[in-house]
Chains A and B, each alone.
Chain A
């Protein structure tokens, strides 16, 4: 390898990043899917011949971080027979993709007869076929309903487009002309990359380029090792749930994590994860592993650019045929949900290792809402896709931001212009506001979710929702409380509200002109005890409509005068009363099985004395959480007269997650689930 001084390295690195930026500029300005040009739902990356990402720019972590696994799969199939002028197309989740809508173009670049670099573009295509417009159905039970599956194939071979294959693909997608436009935009970006790489290689020599790449990877690795080394060694655990619905209703699916930190290495183990299910709550190993990396980066080494070197000290283990490592033929459309839940369990586990560096839970789901059909005005097919982001968790220094893309989303725009939607689709956005009280209470409040109403103005359409977090709210940490859940329902022209039997999972709900879909994204979890929040901040939250007066009093213990001014005396007294009324329980060691079956999976139960259950206001199977210094432990109540009042029996695993020993006391409280009010001002708009 040639010698490289730091200056040449810096100049080459700048050159490689500039290649990716140029690719992005090309896609952004030429693609057809609204999701791409209005929301930047695409990513570009530059890979080395072993599939390691060597450069990226302001891309979406959810796309670009799993991309190396896809590139590796493509090389596994086609690597030996690749030639200049070949273009690989793929979207197969089982081959380490994300979901079928994320269509990936991989473009091998050769120098001196050898594979040198692979630029790749992953774009969210607005439709890839399947059961519903937009392809993401909340009720799919096999992958075939989620669209057409493309294993790694040469769509262009030695410069010649495989027209027959392209025809087959497009014939299985809605709005086919746009899909061809999307493909061309990705291809144009790869051509751009090839020209620039040629220029760089001509200037520095391919070996120097490759040496610079290797050195950058090594440095990122060293950086991540240093960050891991600073964490206290140990095994940190947490658990959370994905949501499905069986014949008897809600069936939570368990997702546990064991995070082992030893020296400068870290292992994330998902042993015990729920088996995969015939519902869209499964995703791929690539997505799971990428999610672990995204959190480590965002918590331990924020802000800096990301390459594959950071991942070398990290091992991820996920058993096959589980929700975090899906295999044929289960639906695989839930990368947005698995990713958010891995973010959650990672934050939960890290809250034990470095509580001052984590935040409350983020908004639980990518919240894929789809309204599509044939526009009765123009006779054209349309698909509107929207993914309103929710609140982010509070953290030591500040409240969580409201309605802002989460850490796995890069700079994705999550609020689309109403004026563009109404110009293009038979939809009227009736209102679009932050959801009052949807932020998790805490010393630092979680951010608020977005609350929107979209009315169909003419013709008919179908509504699908692929989401999660419609039952289990985002958790707070260090005593912070839960943020609001995801919600969605239909409001008929006469004002009648129609709820869905499976909240968060909707497939092709028919809509008629005048029907409105109301949606609410989740909030962020709080950080720290809400009774310790600065009372002036609570008064300001009330004044600015982030928190209602009712919640200010009941949850924060802050009393406001008729003019909204803080009543300090009454506040101190109320806070004292609320603190005294809290249910505090002493931990008792109890190694009995803490789980009961839940569909194909398990859920945690918590035995409490009848008197304590009554103090919580909960009956059998009611949901509650135990909160201590880190993230809270959630369980379904078993009222058990054998349990001593004032105590909480807990197994070793549960004690590890909470970070408590027998004899210590913890806070018990029911799960807080604020709901959207069905009647919202401003919804009286008549359709055109």
Chain B
């Protein structure tokens, strides 16, 4: 907590701020009052911290000194890559391999197009400089490091004004000594530049993916560092003395200092916060297996969680660039509330990925949007007509929505309501396909999972998505419209350590495996302790990426608890393999990557259990809404007034600030004591 006196825990404030593409959400927990505050402000488009400061000023006027934790979900790293605003980058690489980052895997980015081009890389080809050194696959030195060559290359890069250096040598996962020595030289000769080593950022096999991840890290490091520094300075000016924390793509809270060194781990900072929160919330609901479904304005993020364990990505990317930093596997599809419906050439009906965004926004926002969006379809059907849209900034224009949907209805030769329904059907089909990619394509049946729905548009479409997938149970958490920001308050710290080392289980002893894991455990523990966590509060998990010998793709198998025998390890892998692929195989098994995950609480002040706190009498009115081909009289409820155990039968609409939940006919919603709203099918007949 530093040298400053910590705020009194009894009256402390915990603040989580998530910057989204359109809005910045702030959630504040007031330990004294025991309640939450939510603030929504427009994000500042150029990536500056001003939007965050504005939100903080609105949330904590005069109470800055009470802020005990400040957690941030940031888009700085992501935007720096997507908008190509990163550092002038230099790369040192093994002689002969200058073009690894230039040609990648040599694949075509756009099929069946004679005019496809490769996206511009992060580094100019002349700024990739080869140095004489070489290891073999076992890490043995074939050629020693030419330190003079490294120094000369660094001087060249310094003369060119390079601000960041990535050091990317072949087989450095097997022995980082050459990269480390080159890194020392680079830091000495390029004192102002940030230096990233591939053996440090991602000590794993496959040079292009490792180099790309390292180059991304270096590319965004200066901008991320400046941003986090500005943020710290600004918060101090406001009187906030709490250390700055940042959400990592791995679903864990990082200190700002560590993130500044490894900003490639912040690429999924925002969405990971939501998944982290969902995982913790799922515990209070007793739902270990669920699909997190986050539908926002332009896109929908989905993530699969089993046994409270988030699936980790094996093929992560940011834009066109592979990013293999440990990250929650979040599948994104371009379908959100603002997605535009259109009839393309050849009569193909499409919804998204084109989006009306915040400007002009859906037609119903009355800001000049004329194309029909998913939100307009919901307005037409009477499902979405909040009185306080966007924090009361706008009034929903029903006529504009009907006009926009009416135009496409005419082109399709359908009635207004059927066209609106059709827009939702197609959007739901796209979101469903996205959920299938993370479930059925891994041999998992979505019916065995619950759906945890949040994001501004999630609760409105959750029932339809669940019905489509055969999912029986849906949970809508508290504050679904600012859920990622809430996640920043309840997520844990996390540190990942890994090592690539092929180990045939038939030849290895369990002690050999332990010997590889021991230093990884020490590393994960030490990192969290250095971040200020007491050693006794660190929890460690072990995951082994295993495969059949001869395969090149691994399955991550958790092996918590004592490792008893190599046979038992192989058996666990076979079991996981059979479950995922439905194929039994007797071939020998090998370990490819060793992984240790360290976790621990992010702060000393625990949030209370959330609870449904309303006093009942939640129905606030009725209106017509369209379900199953006809208009139905539909009850409108205020979620804040629902008491634990209250039950609302469909058709009904449950409104709250920032989100609207739809309870279709046949569904019922129950207020769970934990504060979530549980939707289930078969509640009442239609």
Q: Which residues of A contact B (CB under 8 A)?
A: 5-7, 9-11, 14-15, 18, 21-22, 25-26, 28-32, 34, 37-38, 58, 61, 177-178, 181, 184-185, 188, 191-192, 196, 219-220, 222-223, 294-295, 297-299, 302-304, 306, 347, 357-359, 388-389, 393, 395, 397-399, 401-407, 409-420, 422-423, 428-434, 450, 453, 543-546, 681-682, 685-686, 688
**Which listed residue (B130, B350, B433, B548) contacts A682, Cβ 8 A?**
B130
Q: How far is the CB of B173 from chain A (nearest CB, A)?
A: 8
CB pair B114–A359 under 8 Å, yes or no, is yes
Q: Which residues does B use to contact A, with CB under 8 Å?
A: 95-100, 102-118, 124-126, 130, 134, 136-137, 140, 142-143, 170-171, 173, 205-209, 343, 345-350, 412, 414, 422, 425-426, 429-430, 433, 436-437, 440-442, 502, 548, 550-553, 580-583, 585, 587
Give the Cβ gap from B227 to chain A, nearest Cβ, in Å: 31
Most A C-beta atoms less than 10 A away, residue of B107, B170, B422? B107
Jot down 16 A-B pairs with beta carbons below 8 A, ordered by A: A10-B426, A11-B429, A29-B553, A177-B587, A302-B110, A347-B114, A397-B115, A401-B117, A402-B103, A406-B108, A407-B113, A416-B105, A417-B208, A431-B95, A450-B103, A681-B95
CA A416 – CA B552 in complex, angstroms?
12
Q: From residue A443, how far is it (CB to closest CB) to chain B in Å?
A: 15
| Residue of A298, A359, A398 ringed by the most chain B CB atoms within 10 A | A298
With the chains together, A430 CA to B86 CA distance in Å? 32
Are B348 and A430 interface neighbours, CB within 8 A? no
- How far apart sit A415 and B207, CA to CA, in the bound complex (Å)? 11
**Interface pair B425/A7, CB less than 8 Å apart:** yes
A298→B115 CA distance, assembly (Å) = 8
Residue with the highest number of chain A CB atoms closer than 10 Å, among B105, B206, B582: B105
The residue on A at minimum CB distance from B470 is: A199
A-side contacts of B442, CB under 8 Å: 25
Partner of A303 from B111, B349, B440 at Cβ < 8 Å = B111
B114 touching A395, Cβ below 8 Å:
yes
Are A545 and B115 closer than 8 Å at their CB atoms?
no
Q: How far is the CA of A294 from the CA of B111 in the complex (A)?
A: 10
Give every chain B residue within 8 A of A191 (Cβ-Cβ): 582
Q: Which of B125, B136, B436 contacts A545 (CB 8 A)?
A: B125
Additional A-B contacts beyond A9-B349, A219-B346 (18; CB < 8 A): A11-B429, A14-B426, A18-B436, A29-B553, A61-B111, A185-B583, A188-B583, A298-B113, A303-B110, A398-B115, A401-B118, A402-B118, A403-B99, A407-B108, A419-B173, A422-B137, A546-B125, A685-B142
Question: Which residue among A185, A196, A405, A410 has the maximum number of chain B CB atoms within 10 Å of its CB?
Answer: A405
CA of A303 to CA of B442, assembled, Å = 28
**Cβ-defined partner of A413 (8 Å) among B107, B350, B587:** B107
Interchain CB contact under 8 A, B99 and A434 = yes
The listed residue (B98, B115, B422, B582) touching A7 by CB distance below 8 A is: B422
B126: which A residues are within 8 A, CB to CB? 543-545
Report how far A7 CA is from B421 CA in the complex, Å: 9
- Nearest to A405 among chain B residues (CB) is B108
Q: Which residues of the partner chain A approach B136 to less than 8 Å between Cβ atoms?
A: 422, 428, 688
For residue A299, which residues in chain B have a CB less than 8 angstroms away from its CB? 114
Measured in the bound complex, the distance between the Cα atoms of B173 and A543 in whole Å is 32
Task: Find out whether the CB atom of B206 lies under 8 angstroms from the CB atom of A420.
Answer: yes
Contact across chains for B207 and A21 when beta carbons are under 8 A apart:
no
* A358 and B349 form a contact (CB under 8 A): no
Q: Which partner residue on chain A sits nearest B581 by CB separation?
A: A30
A58 close to B106 (CB less than 8 A):
no
A223 to B350, CA, bound (A): 17
Q: Which of chain B's residues has its CB closest to A688's CB?
A: B136
In the bound complex, residues from chain A placing their C-beta under 8 Å from that of B587 are 177, 181
Inter-subunit contact A433/B96 (CB<8 Å) = yes
Q: How far apart are the CA atoms of A422 and B193 in the complex, in Å?
A: 33
Residues of chain B contacted by A359 (CB below 8 angstroms): 114-115
Interchain CB contact (< 8 A) of A414 among B107, B143, B425: B107
- Which residues of the other chain, A, contact B134 by a CB distance below 8 angstroms? 685
Distance in Å from the Cβ of B409 to the closest Cβ of chain A? 11
B112 touches A61 (CB 8 A): yes
Q: Are B108 and A433 in contact (CB under 8 A)?
A: no
CB distance from B543 to the nearest CB of A (A): 17
Those 10 A-B pairs whose CB atoms lie nearest each other, nearest first: A431-B96, A302-B113, A414-B106, A7-B422, A413-B105, A415-B106, A25-B441, A405-B108, A6-B349, A422-B137
Q: Roughly how many angstroms separate A159 CA and B436 CA in the complex, as a whole number? A: 28
Shortest beta-carbon distance, B344 to chain A, in Å?
10
Given A388-B106, A404-B107, A358:B171 Cβ within 8 A: no
A6: B residues at CB distance < 8 A: 343, 347-349, 412, 422
Partner of B171, one of A9, A422, A682: A422
**A29 and B581 form a contact (CB under 8 A):** yes
Cα distance, A405 to B346, chains bound together (Å): 29
A81 to chain B, nearest CB (A): 28
CB distance from A374 to the nearest CB of B (A): 16
Q: Is the CB of A544 within 8 A of B124?
A: yes
Chain B residues, Cβ within 8 Å of A181: 548, 550-551, 585, 587
A192 to B581, CA, bound (A): 9
- Supposing A37-B553, A417-B205 touch, asked if A688 and B412 sit within 8 A by C-beta, the answer is no
**Neighbouring B residues of A417 by C-beta, 8 Å:** 205-209
Query: Do B108 and A358 touch (CB < 8 A)?
Result: no
A188 and B582 form a contact (CB under 8 A): yes
Q: Are A403 and B97 in contact (CB under 8 A)?
A: no
Q: Is the CB of A34 within 8 A of B552?
A: yes
Residue B551 contacts which of A32, A681, A688 (CB distance < 8 angstroms)?
A32
The reply to whether B96 and A682 form a contact with Cβ atoms under 8 Å apart is yes
Q: Which of B113, B114, B350, B425 contacts A11 (CB 8 A)?
A: B425
Q: Given contacts A6-B349, A7-B422, A688-B140, is CB(A432)–CB(B106) below 8 Å?
A: no
How long is the Cα–Cα vector from A555 to B510 in the complex, in angstroms?
Answer: 64
Q: Which residue of B lies closest to A406 (CB)?
A: B108
| B114 in contact with A407 (CB, 8 Å) | yes
**B205 — which chain A residues lie within 8 A by C-beta?**
417, 419-420, 423
Known contacts A417-B208, A420-B206, A432-B99; decide if A411 and B142 are in contact (CB<8 Å). no
Question: Which A residues lie within 8 Å of B436 (CB)?
Answer: 18, 22
Taking CB as reference atom, which chain A residue is nearest B411?
A6
- Nearest B residue to A447 via CB reads B118
Q: Complex formed: what's the CA distance from A412 to B112 in Å?
A: 13
CB distance from B415 to the nearest CB of A (A): 11
A502 to B209, CA, bound (A): 37
Give chain B residues whose Cβ lies under 8 Å from the Cβ of A688.
136, 140, 142
Q: Please state if B117 and A407 are interface contacts (CB–CB under 8 Å).
A: no
Would you call A431 and B206 a contact (CB within 8 A)? no
Q: Across the two chains, which residue of chain B brings its CB closest to A38?
A: B552
- Shortest C-beta distance, B115 to chain A (Å), equals 5
> Given that A419-B137, A423-B137 are known contacts, is A5 also in contact with B412, CB under 8 Å in the complex?
yes
A422 neighbours in B (Cβ, 8 Å): 136-137, 171
What chain B residues lie within 8 Å of A5 (beta carbons)?
412, 414, 422
Chain A residues with CB under 8 A of B125 = 544-546
Distance, CA A177 to CA B587, complexed state (A): 9
Give bound CA distance, A388 to B104, whole Å. 12
Query: In the assembled complex, how far is the CB of residue A563 from the closest CB belonging to chain B, in whole angstroms?
Result: 13
Q: How far is the CA of A30 from the CA of B579 in the complex (A)?
A: 13
Residues of B within 8 A of A295 (CB): 114
Minimal beta-carbon separation of A681 from chain B (angstroms): 8
Partner of A222, one of B97, B99, B346, B502: B346
| A107 vs chain B, min Cβ distance (A) | 15
A396 nearest in chain B by CB position? B115
Instruction: Find out whether the CB atom of A403 lies under 8 angstroms from the CB atom of B426.
Output: no
Distance of B76 from chain A, by nearest CB (Å)? 30
CB distance from B55 to the nearest CB of A (A): 38
Residues from chain B with Cβ under 8 Å of A192 in the complex: 582
Enumerate chain B residues within 8 angstroms of A543, measured Cβ to Cβ: 126
Nearest-Cβ distance from residue A361 to partner chain B, whole angstroms: 11
Chain B residues near A302 (CB-CB < 8 A): 110, 112-116
User: How far in angstroms is the closest Cβ of chain B from A426?
Assistant: 11
Which A residues lie within 8 Å of B548 (CB)?
A: 32, 181
Minimum C-beta distance from A357 to chain B (A)? 8
